């Protein structure tokens, strides 16, 4: 678990030194751990349950959802730190990025398929990228 400490501690430095900032830094790290631990899927409601069940992090669900949707999370600094923690992010001089922007279509809803197609998810098809809908 030392590797997780080495990765997660630098992420906390991007939050303010106030009491609320320290609380958010801790909540952010435990949320990342909730995603990593194979407890359940990474849906927000399941992450909230994981925080309580596995880590004993007692937080009201409304407050957790507010935190997750906060526009004040320091994403710019967090991303720089994450990229800096990767020893060699390049493969043959390139950075490879995999994206998954797929949406689960709800059966029985007429507009759900149209909404899913409107987002144009990128999917891998036999080693090449395809754009949907074509």
Question: Quick check: bond before 133 cis, omega within 30?
Answer: yes
Which candidate, 59, 24, 49, 54, places its Cα nearest to that of 37? Answer: 54
The proportion of the chain whose per-residue pLDDT surpasses 90, expressed as a percent, equals 9
CA–CA dist 96, 24 (Å, integer): 31
Backbone torsion region of residue 127, taken as left when φ is above 0, otherwise alpha when ψ lies between -120 and 50, otherwise beta: left
Give the pLDDT confidence of 41-54 residue by residue, as tens digits.
767 888 888 888 88
Q: What is the model's pLDDT at position 100?
A: 64
- Residue 29: in which H helix or E strand, if any? helix 19-36
Q: What is the model's pLDDT at position 91?
A: 79
More confident residue, 36 or 113: 36
Give the pLDDT confidence of 87-99 residue by residue, as tens digits.
777 778 887 777 6
CA–CA dist 33, 56 (Å, integer): 13
CA–CA dist 42, 36 (Å, integer): 9
pLDDT, averaged across the chain: 75
Residue 15 binned pLDDT confidence (cut-offs 50, 70, 90): very high
- Phi first, then psi: give them for residue 123, nearest 5 degrees: -125, 150
Q: Does 103 have pLDDT greater than 80?
A: no
Q: Does 124 have pLDDT greater than 60?
A: no
Asked if 40 contacts 46 with a C-beta cutoff of 8 angstroms, the reply is: yes
Give the pLDDT confidence of 19-37 residue by residue, as tens digits.
989 999 999 999 888 888 8
């Amino acid at each position: 678990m030392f590797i997780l400490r080495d990765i997660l501690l630098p992420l906390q430095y991007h939050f303010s030194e106030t009491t609320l900032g320290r609380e958010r830094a801790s909540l952010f790290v435990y949320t990342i751990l909730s995603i990593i631990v194979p407890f359940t899927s990474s849906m927000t409601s399941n992450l909230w349950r994981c925080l309580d069940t596995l880590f004993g992090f007692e937080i009201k669900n409304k407050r957790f959802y507010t935190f997750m949707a906060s526009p004040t999370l320091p994403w710019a600094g967090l991303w720089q730190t994450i990229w800096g923690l990767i020893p060699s992010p390049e493969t043959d001089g390139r950075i490879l990025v995999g994206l998954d922007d797929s949406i689960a279509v709800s059966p029985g809803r007429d507009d759900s398929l149209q909404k899913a197609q409107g987002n144009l998810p990128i999917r891998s098809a036999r080693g090449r990228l395809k754009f949907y809908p074509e």
